[in-house]
């Protein structure tokens, strides 16, 4: 069932506990509220189209004032999405169909999301058919191709990807490796010796000439994979900036 009515007595079970297994969208509404009556059918349609993936819970605020107060409801309609027992997304006021669809789409994994999560080569290729240039799919698939020696195919796969430091870094590494450059640094990275590998890449910058930007891209890609809070990423970022500027 994609649409249920909830109350203060059933909210914990039907919303909080249920949200551990799938998103639950709660529609805080009232009988007298005109915008609520306009929004309700759009919410119900969106939930029905995602049957089994998301539940719409309708809560009448006049009959359940304690819950309305607990969640700070000051205007209706108010819509809150729950995952793992907490609010992850919300909006207030009537919305059009497109806005409602986007709200639900952000909660429920798309077909491409599910294919990427699968991680098989067939599914990754299908994900890229659905969303050409999708970075996470292209990265996983490119690494598979590299592992079996199909480096040219991996380079071509990464070409249309934009906005991904890791994809850009891997593409730059493939270019450098094709020229026989920095084999020791890349071997260290592959062995998990990140600090040593990054040290060698940094050391190569002063005399890199036309390869400086490629080396920079490789380093930035590795730092992006580490995350901004990683101590090695923070120290290397400072050293990279000093070496370049």
Query: Which positions are annotated as active-site residues?
Result: 33, 36
Q: Which element (helix H / strand E) includes 171?
A: helix 165-178
Q: Please name every residue paired with 196 in a beta bridge, in sequence order, or none if there are none.
A: none
Calpha distance 76→85 (Å, rounded): 22
| φ/ψ of residue 34, rounded to 5 | -60, -50
Q: Does the bond joining 181 to the residue before it have cis omega, within 30 degrees of 0?
A: no
C-alpha–C-alpha distance, residues 160 and 235, integer Å = 31
State how far the alpha carbon of 37 is from the alpha carbons of 31, 76, 187, in Å: 8, 11, 63
| Two structure tokens written together for 110 | 């798309």
């Amino acid at each position: 069932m994609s649409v249920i009515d909830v109350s203060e007595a059933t909210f914990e079970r039907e919303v909080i506990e249920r949200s551990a297994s799938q998103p639950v969208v709660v529609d805080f509404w009232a009988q007298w509220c005109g915008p609520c009556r306009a929004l309700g059918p759009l919410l119900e349609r969106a939930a029905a189209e995602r049957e089994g993936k998301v539940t719409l819970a309708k809560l009448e605020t006049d009959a359940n004032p304690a819950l309305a107060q607990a969640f700070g409801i000051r205007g209706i309609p108010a819509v809150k999405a729950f995952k793992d027992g907490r609010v992850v997304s919300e909006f207030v006021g009537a919305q059009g169909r497109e806005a409602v669809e986007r709200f639900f789409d952000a909660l429920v994994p798309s077909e491409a999301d599910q294919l990427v999560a699968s991680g098989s080569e067939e599914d990754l290729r299908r994900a890229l058919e659905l969303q050409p240039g999708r970075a996470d799919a292209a990265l996983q698939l490119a690494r598979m191709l590299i592992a079996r020696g199909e480096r040219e195919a991996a380079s071509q796969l990464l070409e249309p990807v934009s906005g991904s430091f890791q994809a850009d870094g891997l593409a730059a590494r493939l270019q450098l490796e094709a020229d026989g450059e920095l084999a020791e640094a890349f071997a260290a990275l592959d062995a998990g010796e990140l600090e040593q590998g990054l040290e060698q890449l940094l050391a190569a910058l002063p005399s890199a000439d036309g390869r400086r930007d490629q080396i920079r891209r490789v380093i930035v890609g590795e730092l992006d994979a580490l995350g901004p809070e990683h101590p090695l990423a923070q120290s290397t970022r400072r050293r990279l900036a000093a070496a370049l500027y």
